[in-house]
Chain A
Amino acid sequence: MEPTLIRFILRHSLRQQIGVVALTLVSFPFLYYSLDLPKTIINQAIGGKNLPATFFGFQVDQVSYLMVLSGIFLVMVFVNGGFKYAINVVKGRLGERMLRRFRYELYTRILRFPLHHFRRVSQGELIPMITAEVEPLGGYIGDAIAQPIFQGGTLITIVIFMFMQEPILGLAAISLYPIQGYIIPKLQRKVNKLGKERVKAVRKLAEQIGESVSGVQEIRAHDASRWQLARFTSQLGIIYGIRFEIFQRKFFVKFLNNFINQLTPFFFYSIGGYLVIQGNLSFGSLVAVLAAYKDLASPWKELLDYYQQKEDNRIKYEQIAEQFQPEGMLEESLSAHDAETLERIEGSLHTTGLTLVEDDGKAVLESVSLQLALTGLKLAVVGPEGQGKDHLALLLARLVLPTAGQIQIGGRDLLALPLSVTGRRLAYVGPSAYVFSSSLRDNLLFGVMHRPVGDVAYADQEAAKAAARRHEAQVSGNSPDDPRADWVDMGEVGVADAAGLLARLCQLLERVDLETDVYHLGLRGAVDPKRRPDVAESLLAARRSLRERLASAGLAHLVEPFDRNLYNANATLAENLVFGTPIGNAFDLERLAEHPYALTVLDTLGLTNTLIDTGRKIAETMVELFADLPPDNPFFEQFSFISADDLPEFQALLSRVGREAAATMKPDDRLRLLSLPFKLINARHRLGLIDEALQKKIVEARGVFASGLPDDLKRGIEFFDPERYNAAASLQDNVLFGKVAYGQAEATSRVGQVVTEVLDKLGLRPVVLEVGLDFPVGIAGSRLTQAQRQKLAVARALLRRPDLLILNQAMSALDGSSQGKLLPAVIDEMNGRALVWVLSRVQWAKNFDRVIVVKGGRIVEQGTFAELDRPGSALTELVKQD
């Protein structure tokens, strides 16, 4: 990266800068002419002096001459405006491209940072640097060369004009410039220094915010917010102090400038006036000089502003650039995206004198020498915590570079291998492998998406747009690759097509003991029947099959199916009325009582007052049951229709309305009472308030609700239909097509079992898994458990069939039984290739052919487990501690 901004600008935009300058210069004659034109119009056309008889060979009189000149003036207005517009567009594009290039460059550097650098630099610092801090650079870069030339040229022109009028006055005009030129940079330097401090202070602030976001659980759990607020306040105070000082100094510079600019006319009036009185200067010339001086102010001011801006941006650039060149960055040549064909890594793994010294001078690994045949290698690395075993793994994966020593792999120097080899033929999984916030599938495929394997098939119009995007990316030095292309390298997975890939993914999920989890995620997921009509059809078959299966197992009473003509006792009244799944927020079942359309339907059937009376009975019961309980009683949350806070209001409401008929109540009271019965589930609450007559009425209302639904609301609901797949409902709900009965012991798990059986029998398990793979895992995989994330990371590494897989305590979050399943599965998957596993529990080392014991930064023992398992050995010691 270029060390200074000006070099960055010249290197990447010299030609465009010349273009802007050229365009600016070309615009000058037009500008000059348009300044000159008014004089001609006034003196010749209007004043009638020196009126030319012909104009470009045409005979003209005074009026038509005036009209022609005015016409030209109008044209010049357009031309000048056009130039201004064109120059601004060119400058803007230039600036934006350079900004884009700079950001891209910074980002690529982050990807090449040595990993230990991230211990010192936080996200919170890096993010604002690439996002907010560089932003003003774009605006400046467009102006960087053209602006001083343009404004400087204007300034010089005007000064020359003044000298031509009267050298003394010209001298007077610029007499103070040297002083300004001396003082202002001096003052500016202090402002620049403050600017640097401000940037650092803001980065600290960003870092603190980032830390608070990551540690918010801790802050809340330890009631540390006051301490955090105090720290934050102090940081804000520092920033305030710096900013305020900058303002003061900036305004002082401004004040000084204005003062000096105002001082010059003093010379004009005194010296110029004296010369006029003495008769040495014509009155007209003094006026002309005064007028010219007015024009002089603007370019001078622009130049000073430019200077301030230039300094600001220079500092910014240098400050950012220095942050992005830490020691030990990955060589650029290693990350070059070439290597279409990849040779496998075979042969042996050979290290000599491998040493790693930490920043503080402590050696965590000392002259480790290893000689291992890669083919069929099954190596366990064990040792006490923090004495070098995990560093050995990181070194072998080249995620950390050794301080001294060599690693030869397959006869080649590991440190010189390009990323395209280490990142494809080697795999590493650490204890806290990162999960990206996309779907499970994307996370699994993450390791086999090294480069686009095909072009995107865009439609005509889209293709042009895509080409334009690519061109724009290239002129800014960005990546030409299209993220929408297909990136999955089937060859690396070892499958031929998408179906094979899915099968392989399912197999891997099974192997890492994640299959059941994903299956359940799939059951809760949704399928778009338009995209997958076959799946929807199969799920409908499963729905029918489930009914039969439940009946034959004598479990039919565990599910109450949706029936258009029957009231569902296990659903809320709202669900019974709407009888469908809401889509989007057209209907909120929780607040159906406020929905105008629902109210219309109730009114049509004369149900509103009945339901308000039901609501009154509910309120009475709740007040009776819960009035004596303290408000913090957990029953409120679990059982009451009314929250503890609202209970007194309902008490008041009940005594207010007394025995009053529903029809005459106030609208507010009616709404409050009406909202209650909608939440009622007959089978669960057993209040006996929705009797058969009311149930019939609701079923009738259900029909009216569906048939009268206005068009704009039709898309807000997907009705329950036994013969149709419900796109808005989950896969499980579609198969179930009903409600699990309340009050039946273990109903949910027993029904779940049957659902699974039915789906398996119909061969739908892969389909459910496929849906499960679409599950969005949340930010940093937060919707998965730590154990699920570790399993996912192992599966991700296995998917790309590496020649050497290095697992560094990759199962630490798993329970014993899961570890017991995963370990042999991974060993089996890696059969014939090389596996190095740093174990957190020594007992698992029995499953490996070879064991290395790392202790105090050295290999203290190596051999088979049986060989090392003898009294007094380091291994035995570890087994005892385990």
Chain B
Amino acid sequence: MSLAEEVALLKSIPLFAKIEPSKLKLLAFTSERLTFDPDQVLCKQGDPGDAAYVVIDGEVSISIDAPTAPSGRIVVATLGPGAIVGEIAILCDVPRTATVTSIGRTVTLRISKELFFRLITEFPQIAVEVMRELAHRLEKTNLQLREARVGKPH
């Protein structure tokens, strides 16, 4: 895939949709495009985080350690193209909160911590998109929590 194609692809991702093409080109050029083979780990829960990934092609599963589960972990979500993963660890400087594993062959854009902060400071649109995404997740978590409480009255 050439740079031009990559730019077109980034454009289709909501996070970057409102950024002008020349900046997207810079983003594409300066960030590493990484291909993961099936079942490869993008980031591991507990490790220090140094980058976030934008899924370009393929799917990744998000799981958290759960000693009680049969496999030792619970898959909490599956994300596809356009999704951003691994941003929490670099946003709040905490270890990785979940393990991200590629399901099939997955192409990602690796955005280093430095680059990520530059992006959200330079392009407020991206910051807004990141916020929106995080808010969505919070909303979803709240919903799950509510359902759990309703399901199990005390």
Contacts and interface: CB of A to CB of B under 8 A. Distances in A.
Interface string B36-53: 110010100000000000
Contact of A686 (B33, B34, B37): B33
B22 interface: yes
A744 interface: yes
B40 A686 contact: no
Interface in B1-48: 1-4, 6, 22, 25-26, 28-30, 32-37, 40, 42
A745 B35 contact: yes
A688 interface: yes
B35 A686 contact: no
Interface in A532-571: 554
A339 to B, nearest CB: 57
Contacts of A743: 32-35
A744 B34 contact: yes
B30 A635 contact: yes
Contacts of B114: 634
Contacts of A687: 2-3
Nearest to B102: A745
A625 interface: yes
B3 A745 contact: no
A625 B36 contact: no
A624 B28 CA distance: 13
A355 to B, nearest CB: 52
A632 interface: no
Interface in A710-755: 743-746
A240 interface: no
Nearest to B1: A686
A162 to B, nearest CB: 93
A686 B9 CA distance: 14
B90 to A, nearest CB: 17
Given A634-B114, A686-B6, A687-B3, A625 B29 contact: yes
Contact of B2 (A554, A624, A686, A746): A686
A746 B32 CA distance: 12
A745 B34 contact: yes
A743 B106 CA distance: 11
Contact of A745 (B1, B6, B30, B42): B42
Given A624-B25, A744-B35, A638 B30 contact: yes
Nearest to A684: B32
A453 to B, nearest CB: 53
A626 B4 CA distance: 16
A639 interface: yes
B22 A624 contact: yes
Interface residues of B, number: 20
A686 B22 contact: no
Nearest to B25: A625
User: Which of B6, B30, B34 lies at the interface centre, i.e. has the most chain A CB atoms within 10 A of its CB?
Assistant: B30
Interface in A638-690: 638-639, 685-688
Nearest to A622: B29
A624 B22 CA distance: 7
Most buried by B among A624, A625, A639: A625
B37 to A, nearest CB: 7
Given A686-B2, A688-B2, A625 B37 contact: no
Contacts of B35: 743-745
Among B26, B29, B114, max chain A CB count under 10 A is at B29
B4 A688 contact: yes
Contacts of A626: 26
A745 B26 contact: no
Contacts of A634: 114
Contacts of B37: 554, 744-745
Contacts of B2: 686-688
A509 B25 CA distance: 50
Contacts of B3: 685-688
Interface string B82-119: 00000000000000000000000000000000100000
Nearest to B106: A745
Contacts of B42: 745
Contacts of B22: 624-625
B50 to A, nearest CB: 14
A635 B114 CA distance: 10
Contacts of B1: 686
Contact of B30 (A624, A639, A744): A639
A398 B125 CA distance: 72
A635 B3 CA distance: 17
A644 B30 CA distance: 15
Instruction: Determine which residue in A634, A635, A686, A744 has the highest number of CB atoms from chain B within 10 A of its CB, and name it.
Output: A686
Contacts of B32: 743
Contacts of A685: 3, 29
B29 A639 contact: yes
A635 B115 CA distance: 9
Contacts of A639: 29-30
A634 B33 CA distance: 19
A438 B126 CA distance: 54
A468 B1 CA distance: 71
Interface in A603-656: 624-626, 634-635, 638-639
A223 to B, nearest CB: 26
A687 B26 CA distance: 12
Contacts of A624: 22, 25
A744 B114 CA distance: 21
A634 B29 CA distance: 14
Nearest to A743: B33
A639 B25 CA distance: 13
B108 to A, nearest CB: 8
Nearest to A741: B35
Contacts of A746: 40
Contacts of A625: 22, 25-26, 29
A554 B38 CA distance: 11
Interface of B: 1-4, 6, 22, 25-26, 28-30, 32-37, 40, 42, 114
24 contacts: A554-B37, A624-B22, A624-B25, A625-B29, A626-B26, A634-B114, A635-B26, A638-B30, A639-B29, A685-B3, A685-B29, A686-B1, A686-B6, A686-B29, A687-B2, A687-B3, A688-B3, A743-B32, A743-B34, A745-B34, A745-B36, A745-B37, A745-B40, A745-B42
Given A744-B37, A745-B35, A745-B37, 11 more contacts: A625-B25, A635-B26, A638-B30, A639-B29, A686-B29, A687-B2, A743-B32, A743-B35, A744-B35, A745-B34, A745-B40
Interface of A: 554, 624-626, 634-635, 638-639, 685-688, 743-746
The 6 closest A-B pairs by CB, nearest first: A688-B2, A745-B36, A745-B34, A686-B3, A743-B33, A625-B26
